Amino acid sequence: MGVVARCWLLLAACLVGAQAVAGAAPPDPRVTDAARLVSVTPGQGRVVDLVVHSAAMGRSVHVAVLSAPDRTAAAPVLYLLNGVDGGSTTGDWRDGGNWLTRTDAAQFFADKQVTVVMPIGGAGSYYADWRADDPVLGRQRWTTFLTRELPRLIDTEFHGTGANAVAGVSMAGTAAFQLALAAPQLYRAVGSYSGCVSTSGPQGHAIVNTVVSGQNGDPVNMWGQPGDPLWAANDPFLHADRLRGLAIYAASGTGLPGGLDTIDGPGIGGDTAKLLDQLLVGGALDVVTGLCTRQLAVRLGELGIPATVDLRPDGTHSWGYWNDDLHRSWPLFAAALR
């Protein structure tokens, strides 16, 4: 958490249920054949550090891969997306808060024949294809990168089976559903941990604007002015009918202190200031995402779309709970990836 997360405290008072209507923006149409692996470097344990040149973004992107136990055999792929800061501000996953540094993902997947892929970067981007380059955040074509460029390279390098799932925390929970709509044939399962799937309407605008501007980006460069059709086009809540057939998992706490919100809880390490931050800021955030997740559950129920929705009675916006969410969602994903 940090400055961006603190700004979200303001959202706790803006819990409007308003929703609008429309359909999902396609990936960047430019040719992406020039996307290529720049380097493949073995890291600690089964981690492999990739540098991938993205033709769509015109730059190299760091990607951490947790290879399957048997790298010579075929394996499905789980894409795990990080939150608002993209998992690291330096491009090196070791320097940030992400799936490899803040959860037991490496140990959890040690005996599972699946390749886990974690892109680094994309702070405040919603992993979307932006309509215009941003003066601060630069060219954002993450949808194209994640759905058209990276999967081909991952499948070649790590013997992918063609079966994929995508999940993310916070901002990336929204993005995971947006990617599933943008590339309906690519994924078999999608997951959101403390995310807010809706991006349009007063509630969606408030959250998206806070996240993007908190990273010094301009939301107008992403989807235009409020009311621009791109806002509704990128709202998975409005187009939830197109999620039919996917294995869906969505989870969130309510913001009330839970069993992991203690002085010796995950990520706290006895630090009173960190605990206070988690209780106040993390609590406020999961008040918001809890309501968003409840709205999604109702929407999917109305459409008759099966989904596993875990609305915990307590818990804050923090990695300890997301680690548990990953464990709980894996059986659903594993079944879909067979």
Tell which phi-psi region holds residue 142, choosing left (phi > 0), alpha (psi between -120 and 50) or beta. Answer: alpha
Residue with tokens 């916070």: 170
Q: What is the pLDDT of residues 2-61, one digit of tens each?
A: 434 444 444 433 333 333 333 334 444 444 457 899 999 999 899 999 999 999 999 999
Q: Distance (Å, rounded) from C-alpha 63 to C-alpha 81?
A: 11
- Confidence (pTM): 0.90
Check residue 310 and give its pLDDT.
Answer: 97
> 207 CB contacts (<8 Å, ≥6 apart)?
8, 11, 196, 199, 288
Q: What does the DSSP 8-state code read for residue 333? A: H
For residue 37, give the H/E element and its range.
strand 36-42
**Quick check: 169 and 82 in contact, CB under 8 A?**
yes
Over range 174-199, report the average pLDDT: 96
Query: Residue 156 pLDDT > 90, yes or no?
Result: yes
Check residue 23 and give its pLDDT.
Answer: 36
* 6-15, 57-66, 102-111, 259-268: segment of lowest average pLDDT: 6-15
Where are the chain's structural domains?
Answer: 24-198+235-337
Percent of the chain residues past pLDDT 70, beyond the cut: 90
Better pLDDT: 182 or 89: 182
Question: Collapsing DSSP states into helix, strand and coil, what is residue 53?
Answer: strand
Q: Where are the alpha helices (DSSP H) in 125-277?
A: 142-144, 150-158, 171-182, 201-214, 219-223, 229-233, 272-277
* Strand 115-120, strand 308-311: pairing: unpaired
Query: Does CATH number 3.30.365.10 belong to domain 24-198+235-337?
Result: no
Mean pLDDT of the chain: 90
For residue 266, give the H/E element and its range.
none
Check residue 22 and give its pLDDT.
Answer: 34
Check residue 44 and give its pLDDT.
Answer: 87
Q: What is the pLDDT of residues 222-257, one digit of tens each?
A: 999 988 999 999 999 999 999 999 999 999 999 999
